Amino acid sequence: MHSKVVWLGRQEYGVVLARQKELVQKVRRGAEPDTLLLVEHEPVITLGRTAKKEHLLLSEAALKERGISLFSVERGGDVTYHGPGQLVGYPILDLNRYGRDLHLLLRNYEEVLIRTLADFGVAARRFPPYTGVWVGEEKVAAIGVAVESWVCFHGFAFNVDPNLDHFRLIVPCGISEYGVTSLARLLRRPVGLMEVIPHVIRHFADVFGLTFGPVEKELLGESER
- pLDDT band, very low/low/confident/very high, at 222 (cuts 50, 70, 90): very low
Is the pLDDT at 201 greater than 90? The verdict is yes
Q: Where are the beta strands (DSSP E) in 12-77?
A: 35-41, 44-47, 69-72
CB within 8 A of 138, min separation 6: which ones?
178, 179, 180, 181
pLDDT in tens, 21-43: 999 999 999 999 999 999 999 99
Model pTM score: 0.93
- pLDDT recorded at residue 66: 86
Active site residues: 173
Amino acid at 138: E
Tell which residue, 72, 90, 118, 64, has the closest CA to residue 11: 90
Fold of 4-210: BirA Bifunctional Protein; domain 2 (3.30.930)
pLDDT in tens, 46-82: 988 777 878 788 887 888 888 888 888 888 778 889 9
Is the pLDDT at 103 greater than 90? The verdict is yes
